[in-house]
Structures are given as C-alpha cells and as structure tokens.
C-alpha cells in the first residue's frame, strides 16, 4: 500500500484517526512503522496528504492527519468489460482502480461462463475491497463506479448508445481491424471482450451502438494485460 486510505468511520476528530484491523497490521508488518513516523494518507472520496503516527500498539494506531492535495485525475473513460473469471476479476478490479478508470461496466457475453455470475467476488463489498487495494497501490482516493449488466442485448441496445454519446467508442477485438489509436483527446468508451473474444453478433451489436472495432496485434493477451495495454496506448 502506497497510500494509507482513511474512511469516514476512522475519524475521531477533524484531523485525527484511529486505525485497527488490516491497515494496522500492514503498518506493523510491512511499513514496520513507529510512533513519530510520517506516512502518505488519503481520505476515501476526498483529499490526500500526510499523517503522523501519534501512537501505535497491537490494538490501534492513532494518526494526526493533514489533507491538502487533490487525488490524481481520472481517465476520461467508460470501460465495458465482459465479466472475467472470478480469480481474474479480482485482479482486474485492482488494475482498473489503480489506472484511474472512473466507470466500469461488467457485462455478460456469450463466452462468459454462467458460473462466473455466481462468484462471491461480485458482491458489492467484495468489489469495493479490490477497488480500494487499487487506490492504495496507485495513490488515489476516488472509488470507480462499477455497474453490473447481466443481459448483453438490452444493455447494448437500450443504454449503451446514450452512455457512449459524445465519446470515441471502441471495441478491442482481434482481427483485421485498424490498430487501437494512440494518445487520443477527449472521452472514450472502450469494450473489452472475454477470454476467447466477443462473438460476431456481439461485435455487430456494439458497432450499432457506436463502437468501432480496433486491434492490438496478433498476440492474444489475458484480459488483465489487455486492459493495461489498451489504456496505456489510448491515454
């Protein structure tokens, strides 16, 4: 964790927090923190700054905090992602959060196995946990907004056209398509398929909603790698 992320419930005064649990353990075991140490902190949904450890023992850590810096800018992006398998989902949520994606839509696709929708990692608290790990990694305080769309067709027909309006709409898809553009200006709506890719019908429907297929070369990348590679190329 490169940023100690504070939640509203941690605050016992305007500039004072008490920590227990995971973050306390991390302070002890990873930071090997001691009283007097100064750490990078941020308030979830708010500013970032420094925190000074006033007291630290096995039960609690108390910090005095000064929050005066804005979190880093988000990417101008809405990312649609075919629901990855559960283990990959957790890592992708961290990556998406760390890279500064503000809006993520987890979407069904023909090649998403039905069992993936049963995973406990889709529970709101489980999603939030992974997003927070990403924020702590990247030093950000603003949680991405994640929505879940279990039905491809009504989402893509009825809601995607409005969601993508005014943005550059792209579908990552292997094939004889133009290469993914670089260093674009302005907002983007990007759809990334499941392992095995979108089926032709889905690419057609995404095109009808205003998204154009682009490719990243011959190599088939894992979803997590494709996400970071496409974002690094686009922005």
- Cβ–Cβ < 8 Å for 101, 77: yes
* 141 sits near its own copies (criterion: CB under 8 A): no
- Cβ–Cβ < 8 Å for 187, 166: yes
Best CA proximity match to 26, nearest among 52, 51, 2: 2
Count other Cβ atoms within 10 Å, centred on residue 164: 23
Q: Nearest distance from residue 218's CB to its own copies, in Å?
A: 4
From the list 95-103, 121-129, 147-155, 158-166, the region that binds its own copies by CB under 8 A is: 95-103
Distances (CA, A) of 88 to 82, 95, 128, 130, 211: 12, 10, 15, 11, 25
Choose which of 27, 140, 142, 191 interacts with its own copies (CB under 8 A).
Answer: 140
The radius of gyration of the chain from alpha carbons, rounded to an integer in Å, stands at 20
137 versus 147: smaller Cβ distance to its own copies? 137
From the list 21-29, 133-141, 156-164, 186-194, the region that binds its own copies by CB under 8 A is: 133-141
> Looking only at residues 63 through 92 of this chain, which bind its own copies when binding is defined by CB under 8 A?
72
Choose which of 139, 143, 147, 184 interacts with its own copies (CB under 8 A).
Answer: 139
* 100 sits near its own copies (criterion: CB under 8 A): yes
- Cβ–Cβ < 8 Å for 139, 40: yes
* 162 sits near its own copies (criterion: CB under 8 A): no
Residues that bind its own copies (CB under 8 A): 2, 72, 94-95, 98-100, 137-140, 182-183, 216-222, 224-225, 228-233
């Amino acid at each position: 964790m490169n940023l100690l992320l504070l939640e509203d419930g941690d605050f016992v005064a305007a500039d004072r927090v008490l920590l227990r649990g995971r973050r306390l353990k991390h302070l002890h075991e990873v930071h090997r923190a001691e009283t007097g140490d100064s750490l990078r902190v941020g308030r979830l949904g708010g500013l970032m700054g420094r925190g000074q450890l006033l007291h630290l023992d096995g039960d609690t850590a108390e910090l005095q905090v000064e929050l005066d810096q804005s979190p880093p800018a988000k990417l101008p992006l809405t990312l649609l992602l075919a629901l990855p398998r559960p283990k990959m989902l957790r890592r992708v949520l961290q990556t998406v959060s760390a890279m500064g994606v503000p809006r993520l839509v987890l979407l069904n696709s023909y090649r998403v196995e039905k069992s993936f929708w049963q995973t406990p990692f889709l529970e709101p608290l489980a999603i939030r946990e992974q997003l927070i790990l990403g924020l702590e990694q990247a030093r950000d305080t603003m949680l991405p907004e994640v929505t879940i769309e279990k039905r491809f067709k009504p989402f893509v027909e009825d809601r995607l056209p409005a969601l993508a309006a005014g943005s550059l709409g792209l579908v990552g898809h292997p094939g004889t398509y133009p290469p993914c553009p670089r260093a674009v200006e302005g907002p983007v709506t990007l759809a990334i398929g499941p392992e095995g890719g979108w089926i032709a019908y889905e690419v057609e429907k995404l095109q009808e909603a205003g998204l154009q297929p682009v490719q990243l070369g011959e190599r088939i990348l894992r979803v997590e790698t494709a996400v970071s590679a496409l974002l690094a190329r686009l922005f």
